[in-house]
Amino acid sequence: MALPEINAICTTCRTPFCGRPTRSFLGFQKLTCPAGHRVLYPLTRGYRIAYWVLIALIGVRIVAIAASGHIAVPGILGILIIIGLVSDRKIRKQVAALTPAQSKTGGPQPRPQQPLRSDRPGSPTGLSNRGGENQRRSALPG
């Protein structure tokens, strides 16, 4: 089953791009950014739901086996699903934190605010006085 194209952001160079992902081993969406970086995107909804259903079934079975006095282990499938869900969570967090390198809207960009130091050879007290004045001015209401 081919996956639909998605709008992705490269996790390495943060370039926004549109690509058709392929499935990785555990069902993650694999993409390649225009610069050639490999990008991993989270599970699709269907996979995530299937994983949670399976983990619930395995959990019920483990509880049932444990209740009958035996030692229950999740098995390879259960371990793989747990790894898949944990990685999915990590990738989703990572993807959610991504922001494109250049935004068209020109949003607020963090500008380093540094006081001009070298243009005046005067005393440093003048500079600190100015800073104090600024603070006082901003503290006034209105």
Give the binding site for Zn ion (CB under 5 A).
Answer: 10, 12-13, 33, 35, 37
Phi, psi of 49 (to 5 degrees): -65, -45
Q: Specify the residue, 10 or 91, whose C-beta has the smaller distance to Zn ion.
A: 10
Provide, rounded to whole angstroms, the least separation between the CB of residue 41 and Zn ion: 13
Q: Specify the residue, 33 or 40, whose C-beta has the smaller distance to Zn ion.
A: 33
Provide, rounded to whole angstroms, the least separation between the CB of residue 69 and Zn ion: 54
What three-state secondary structure class fits 17? Answer: strand
How many Å apart are CA 99 and CA 121, to the nearest integer? 41
How many Å apart are CA 46 and CA 115, to the nearest integer? 54
Provide, rounded to whole angstroms, the least separation between the CB of residue 38 and Zn ion: 9
R_g (Cα) of the chain, nearest Å: 27
Q: Specify the residue, 103 or 129, whose C-beta has the smaller distance to Zn ion.
A: 103
Provide, rounded to whole angstroms, the least separation between the CB of residue 15 and Zn ion: 5
Q: Specify the residue, 8 or 43, whose C-beta has the smaller distance to Zn ion.
A: 8
Bridge partners of 29, per DSSP, are 23, 41
DSSP 23: E
